[in-house]
Amino acid sequence: MEIFAQLLVNGLIAGGIYALAAVGYSMVYGALKFINFAHGSVAMVGAYIAFVLFTLAHVPLVLAFLAAMLLTALVGVLIERVAYRPLRSAPKLASLTTAIAVSFVLDASVMIVMGADIRSFNLTAQKSYQIGPVYITPVQVAIVVTSLVFMVGLYLLLTRARLGKAIRAVADGVDLAEIAGINSNLVISSVFAIGSALAAASGALIGMDTNLQPTMGFIITVKAFAAVILGGLGNVWGAVAGAFLIGIVENLGVWFIPPVWKDSIAYGILIFVLFFRPTGIFGKKEEAQATVL
């Protein structure tokens, strides 16, 4: 029972990290109806920006984290403006191919600048807290708190703020939103900025909890994409639920399979959902069909 409790808490922590990345995926799909496969690489870039600011520039950790989110938001806006906006009226396959190319460019650029070695934030050794049978580190506490704060902030943005209403209007239809006087280009840029900032938070938290390397974006992509598919394409809160489910299942899974196969659980969940419920838990049939088309 103690092992189960520990693995469950580990799953919730992982789910919080995955949720930050999955939300950006879902928001971009809602606005443009295409899967941004460069999203994981954007998260990786954010992680390295935080690493450079904290380790090399000696910026305080919290400030480095926030600055990485801001700078990565600008990277996301630049990617949308240069790589995706010119293809907005092109077939979706063109945007999908471009997203994969952007991912390769980001991965290669970071590898050239930072090298291929595994890096660590080198945080000072911190004593774990014990809560009943569960042990949790200060970094993991920060992950839980950060994820909750950003999820609440995103909820308030999408439901209460004027920008959130504009984002939902564009998701319902760009043409109708523009008829209503909404600047769709500005809204879509805002979606990329928010999604990229949250992706940077996800990547940086992964780096702080474990380590970081230029290829980490691929794993983030797979897990965030699996969460979005599981929760339902275009459904932000479905993506959050899917992220937590994947985090819990993959951590409980190491109770039965070797830990080296832990990352493969997300692949298994993705394949299972695509076979038996391609719409996801909260998704709509037309969304799944649009993805195929």
In a domain, 218, yes or no: yes
pLDDT tens digits, 263-290: 788 778 778 877 887 777 776 655 544 4
Total Cβ atoms within 10 A of residue 211: 15
What global pTM score does this model have? 0.90
Residue 132 forms part of a structural domain: no
Q: What is the DSSP letter of 283?
A: -
Examine residue 194 and state whether it is found in any structural domain, yes or no. Answer: yes
Averaged pLDDT for residues 234-254: 88
* pLDDT tens string 85-113: 999 888 888 988 999 999 999 999 999 99
Query: In this structure, is residue 117 part of a structural domain?
Result: yes
For the beta carbon of residue 148, count every other beta carbon within 10 angstroms. 12
Q: Which two tokens stand for residue 270?
A: 């993705």
**Assigned domain for 130 exists:** no
Q: For a pLDDT cut of 70, what percent of the chain falls above it? A: 95
Q: Does residue 107 lie within any of the structural domains?
A: yes
Q: Answer whether residue 153 is part of any domain.
A: yes
What is the arithmetic mean of pLDDT over 56-79? Answer: 96
Is 129 inside a domain boundary? no
Which residues are CB-neighbours of 226 under 8 A, at least 6 positions away?
Answer: 242, 246, 266, 267, 269, 270, 273
- Count CB-CB contacts under 10 A for residue 233: 25
Task: Look up the domain containing 87 and give its range.
Answer: 2-124+137-292
Q: What is the pLDDT of residue 293?
A: 38
Q: Give which of 200, 287, 201 is closest to 26, Cα–Cα.
A: 287
Q: How many structural domains are present in the chain?
A: 1
Q: What CATH number corresponds to the domain at position 41?
A: 1.10.3470
From the number of C-beta atoms within 10 Å of its C-beta (0-12, 13-18, 19+), residue 94 rates as middle
